[in-house]
């Protein structure tokens, strides 16, 4: 194997109409209509809009037999209009609808948690004999669809969702990634018993960590059983805006960079057409990385396991600590810290201090923790001292990028009372142990901490050997220093962590996101930078790597701060605001998801650590919102049901009153804070 390439996991090829998924085919992009399926003209129009935007497969909900019957007319009208895009029927609860739908569309998606299975949230112990009886019942319930799909040349997607596992699975495996995988494997084995293998598999969750773990586990399970079915990737209920895009890029991107994924859907609580550009951008980045040779100076690229991380069990990497002060630490068990680049020259130290003060006042819980400034001349030292005085008590630490190697001339910490602790960053592009020792000794003598970037990757081993022998003072904050020819910064960080681990070092890691860490270097617009940031930081953070993070391509300090916190939230590495789990809408939805989600956000987006699910119907209700504290679920047209966890506590609330009733419910459970009381 050429370790300069990401090895794509090779799957079997599955036809979905005229579109082939898996094997060596391109990553297929798909979405789902939000119209009432029985409104044939509206559904056809939205399908055409999706096809025009570049969507290759369109999914349409079929909640009942009448909706499934409408798929025939939808298929006919699309064909007459010259659009032979494959259609997928989305089935929950209703095998009869599936049997009708398979007659008209190219693929049927079933949810193993509620297809021919019970879902009553009952606690029950199953003996082996009882469990076998349940499996036989599943075999009898699912086999007719498998046989008909085989006869008609259709494909099936077995689409497991984290929150909608059956009671039988929950009682044996728990609400876990393993339970998700076992739920799907039971249905795959039934399909294989009929020699049917045109199957695509998905393991969706609203939590990217759960989703990543479930897919990795599914690949391992399939490999052990000699299976290689294509994977449909997606983070379900990702939400909207920047948050939804980040969360999707974190989950989908992590797996694509593992080499997994044959078709993807980015689920946004927006017009489905808006999903397509994001999905296409992610697919393009993955395909580029799957086919690009990395620079020759790196002979080895670390896998997730090389870094000491079990890819099937998320655990924070143990690291040393920069003990900034008694209340603030970098590394160890502390949350990843936010370093924010300041582009204003140090000569304007007053402007820098005022801008930081303004951001701190407005952001509070999501504050700047470590501004990053550049030391570029001797004259900058006096301006740096002024800035340190001005920032006393405002930030815990200040990072100095020493561009001219004069940091040893900075006034020692002890001489500027209550100023932020200094972390001095030096980049070593040609590592010389004597230079490094001199750098560390001078900075430590002044009471400063050190941060180090090393290039090229071939030096990581040499630097690691040296650091393992030279351990005076606190551990350095280590980061990867990019170079133009390097096309996969994610692998570089894994290589850095591997080199450190192999020498029993525990240096904390600083993830730097800048122009040199783009996965698509020629693209410089904001949406691309956002995806690149999520693709780099997301997988690392989900795998427990990253003790500090900086986004260095944002337009200003506040944007950099906000994007860094959003990346941490998307990867569930640090929660700084309300977490919203919002489904993307479909023909089942009983209210306007986009406008309702925005109303709920306006009232509750200051509730740090609270998770609120906004679900259009019962399918995406108590089961799908597995991680939510509170749920707002469509119960009937114009009527809302409210949940605490998976328990429905209020029903049939008029939609016009439901948001305020949700606020009242949060207050009743002691999790409400007034916006101006958050500190």
Which element (helix H / strand E) includes 224? helix 208-224
pLDDT, tens only, 160-188: 988 788 888 888 888 889 999 999 999 99
Predicted local confidence at residue 458, as pLDDT: 52
Q: Which long-range contacts (CB under 8 A, 24 or more apart) does 527-531 make?
A: 527/245, 527/277, 527/278, 527/281, 528/281, 529/553, 529/554, 530/242, 530/245, 530/246, 530/249, 530/563, 531/245, 531/249, 531/253, 531/278, 531/281, 531/282, 531/285
Do residues 8 and 291 make contact, with C-beta atoms less than 8 angstroms apart? no
Strand arrangement, sheet containing 639-644: 579-582, 611-615, 630-636, 639-644, 647-654
Task: Please state, for a pLDDT cut of 90, what percent of the chain lies above it.
Answer: 52
How far from 250 is each of 531, 570, 649, CA to CA, in Å? Answer: 8, 7, 33
Phi and psi of 424, rounded to 5°? -100, 125
Lowest mean pLDDT of 258-267, 305-314, 491-500, name the range. 305-314
For domain 337-454, the CATH class is: alpha beta
Estimate the crossing angle of helix 526-542 against helix 208-224, to 10 degrees.
Answer: 60
| Confidence check: pLDDT of 519 > 80 | no
pLDDT digit string, tens, across residues 275-294:
999 999 999 988 888 876 55
Q: Are 22 and 230 in contact (CB under 8 A)?
A: yes
Q: Are the beta carbons of 65 and 53 closer than 8 angstroms?
A: no
454-476 mean pLDDT: 61
Show the tokens assigned to 378: 């001797």
Per this entry, what is the length of the chain?
679
Which H or E element spans position 531? Answer: helix 526-542
pLDDT for the residue 98: 97
Instruction: Output the six-digit token pair for 523.
Output: 């693209």
Q: Domains of the chain: which residue ranges? A: 14-230, 337-454, 579-677
Mean pLDDT of the chain: 86
Q: What tokens appear for 107 in the block?
A: 């693929």
Specify burial of residue 344 (Cβ count, 10 A radius: 0-12, 13-18, 19+): middle
Q: How far apart are CA 181 and CA 199, in angstroms?
A: 15
**pLDDT tens, residue by residue, 310-366:** 777 778 888 888 888 778 999 988 999 999 999 999 999 999 999 999 999 887 678
Dihedral, CA atoms, 395, 327, 309, 214, nearest 10 degrees? -80
Q: Are 30 and 90 in contact (CB under 8 A)?
A: no
Enter the DSSP assignment of 553. S
Using a 10 angstrom Cβ sphere, with 0-12 exposed, 13-18 middle and 19 or more buried, the burial of residue 432 is exposed
**Local confidence band at 557 (pLDDT 50, 70, 90 cut-offs):** very high
Tokens (6 digits) for 581: 């789990």
Distance (Å, whole) CA 207 – CA 141: 30
Per-residue confidence (pLDDT) for residue 415, from 0 to 100: 84
* C-alpha angle 314-316-317 in degrees, rounded to nearest 5: 120
Residue 380's pLDDT band (boundaries 50, 70, 90)?
Answer: very high
pLDDT-derived band at 1 (thresholds 50, 70, 90) equals very low
What distance in Å separates the CA atoms of residue 136 and residue 38, rounded to the nearest whole number? 34
Count the helices and strands in the chain (H runs, E runs). Answer: 18, 25
Report pTM. 0.90
Structure tokens at 545: 């790597």
3-state secondary structure 255-277: HHCCCCCCEECCCCCCCHHHHHH
CB 676: neighbour CB atoms within 10 A?
7
Where residue 634 falls among pLDDT bands split at 50, 70, 90?
Answer: confident
What CATH class does 579-677 carry?
Answer: alpha beta
User: In the predicted model, what is the mean pLDDT of residues 126-137?
Assistant: 86
* Residues 28, 262 contacting (CB under 8 angstroms): yes
Whether the CB-CB separation of 117 and 139 falls below 8 Å is answered with: no
Q: 496 is written with which tokens? A: 């850095």
Task: Identify the CATH number of the domain defined by range 14-230.
Answer: 3.20.20.20
Residue 482: band (very low, low, confident or very high) from pLDDT cuts 50, 70, 90 = low
């Amino acid at each position: 194997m050429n370790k300069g390439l990401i090895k794509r996991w090779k799957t079997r090829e599955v036809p979905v109409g005229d579109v082939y998924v898996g094997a060596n085919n391109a990553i297929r992009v798909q979405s789902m209509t939000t119209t009432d399926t029985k409104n044939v003209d509206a559904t056809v129009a939205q399908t055409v809009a999706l096809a025009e935007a570049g969507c290759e497969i369109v999914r349409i909900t079929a909640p009942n037999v009448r909706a499934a019957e409408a798929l025939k007319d939808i298929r006919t009208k699309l064909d007459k209009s010259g659009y032979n895009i494959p259609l997928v029927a989305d089935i929950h609860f209703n095998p009869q609808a599936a049997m009708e739908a398979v007659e008209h569309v190219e693929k049927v998606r079933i949810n193993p948690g509620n297809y021919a299975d019970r879902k009553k949230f009952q606690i029950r112990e199953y003996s082996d004999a009882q469990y076998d009886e349940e499996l036989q019942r599943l075999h009898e319930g699912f086999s007719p669809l498998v046989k008909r799909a085989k006869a008609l040349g259709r494909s099936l997607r077995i689409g497991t969702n984290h929150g909608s596992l059956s009671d039988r699975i929950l009682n044996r495996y728990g609400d876990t990634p393993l339970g998700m995988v076992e739920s799907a494997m039971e249905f795959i084995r039934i399909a294989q018993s009929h020699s049917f293998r045109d199957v695509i598999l998905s393991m969706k969750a609203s939590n990217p960590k759960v989703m990543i773990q479930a897919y990795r586990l599914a690949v391992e399970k399939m490999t052990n059983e000699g299976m290689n079915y294509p994977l449909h990737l997606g983070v379900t209920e990702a939400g909207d805006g920047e948050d939804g895009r980040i969360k999707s890029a974190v989950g989908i991107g992590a797996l694509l960079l593992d080499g997994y994924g044959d078709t993807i859907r980015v689920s946004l609580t927006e017009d489905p057409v808006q999903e397509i550009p994001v999905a296409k951008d992610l697919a393009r980045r993955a395909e580029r990385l799957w086919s690009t040779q990395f620079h020759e100076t790196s002979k080895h690229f670390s896998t997730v396991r090389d870094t000491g991380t079990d890819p099937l069990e998320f655990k924070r990497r143990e690291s040393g600590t920069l003990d900034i002060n008694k209340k603030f630490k970098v590394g160890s068990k502390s949350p990843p810290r936010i370093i924010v680049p300041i582009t204003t020259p140090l000569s304007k130290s007053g402007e820098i201090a005022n801008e930081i003060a303004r951001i701190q006042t407005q952001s509070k819980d999501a504050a700047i923790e470590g501004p990053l400034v550049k030391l570029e001349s001797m004259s900058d030292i006096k301006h740096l001292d002024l800035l340190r005085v001005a920032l006393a008590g405002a930030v815990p630490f200040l990072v100095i990028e020493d561009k001219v190697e004069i940091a040893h001339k900075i006034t020692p910490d002890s001489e500027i009372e209550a100023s932020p602790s200094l972390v001095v960053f030096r980049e070593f592009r040609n590592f010389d142990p004597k230079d490094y020792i001199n750098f560390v000794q001078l900075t430590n003598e002044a009471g400063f901490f050190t941060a180090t970037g090393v290039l090229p990757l071939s030096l990581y081993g040499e630097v690691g050997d040296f650091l393992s022998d030279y351990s005076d003072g606190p551990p350095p904050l280590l980061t990867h220093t990019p170079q133009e020819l390097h096309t996969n910064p994610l692998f570089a960080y894994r290589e850095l962590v591997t080199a450190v681990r192999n020498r029993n070092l525990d240096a904390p890691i600083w993830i730097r996101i800048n122009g040199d860490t783009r996965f698509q270097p020629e693209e410089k617009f904001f949406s691309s930078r956002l995806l690149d940031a999520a693709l780099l930081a997301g997988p690392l953070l989900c795998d427990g790597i990253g003790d500090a993070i900086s986004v260095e391509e944002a337009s200003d300090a506040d944007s950099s701060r906000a994007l860094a916190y959003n990346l941490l939230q998307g990867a569930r590495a640090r929660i700084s605001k309300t977490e919203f789990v919002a489904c993307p809408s479909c023909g089942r939805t009983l209210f306007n998801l986009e406008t309702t989600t925005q109303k709920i956000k306006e009232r509750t987006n200051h509730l740090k650590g609270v998770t609120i699910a906004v679900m259009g119907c019962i399918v995406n209700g108590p089961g799908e919102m597995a991680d939510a504290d509170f749920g707002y679920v469509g119960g009937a047209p114009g009527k809302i049901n409210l949940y605490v966890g998976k328990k429905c506590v209020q029903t049939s609330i008029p939609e016009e009153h439901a948001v305020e009733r949700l606020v009242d419910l949060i207050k009743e459970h002691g999790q409400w804070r007034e916006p101006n009381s958050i500190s």
